[in-house]
Amino acid sequence: MDQIPTDLEIIEDIYYRYYDEYKKYAKDEPDRIARIRVPVNIQEIADACGVDEDMIFGRLYYHFNKKYSYKNEDGDITTFFMSEKFEGLSVNYPLVSAVLADLSSEKKRTTIFITISAVAVMLSVVAVILALIL
């Protein structure tokens, strides 16, 4: 069975794949409705992640939208992913960036915690061995 891509892997792919597209938005003659909405190619993301296109669409539409979209104080809903009649499938790129920063920070904290725990276990084992020897 192939490895299922993590949220972090999918969002990293989207962030780095569409960064230039987000930056090149022209205010004078825009090529899309809003700068924050960047069109995505689900098949490209799926190929990069090594899964079926429907898997990526489902993760973006059902999982990421539920997990990362929010309603502000005015009642307006900010969605992570959407399907627009004229623009197709798109992501809220600044929200992608924020989620990526959070997931990367969480991964770093987890890695540090696991490393400290592993060192503590090794020190404990060494202490027990030294106690038995001495």
Domains, the chain? 7-107 (1.10.10)
Task: Report pLDDT digits (tens) over 14-38.
Answer: 999 999 988 887 666 666 667 788 8
- Taking the C-alpha atoms of residue 48 and residue 9, their distance in angstroms, rounded to an integer, is 10
Which residue type, as a one-letter code, is found at position 59? R
pTM of the model: 0.79
Q: Which of 101, 85, 94 has the alpha carbon at shortest distance from 19? A: 94
Packing angle between helix 7-23 and helix 93-133, nearest 10 degrees?
140
Task: Report pLDDT digits (tens) over 53-103.
Answer: 999 999 999 999 999 999 988 888 888 998 876 567 999 999 999 999 999
CB 68 within 8 A of CB 51: no
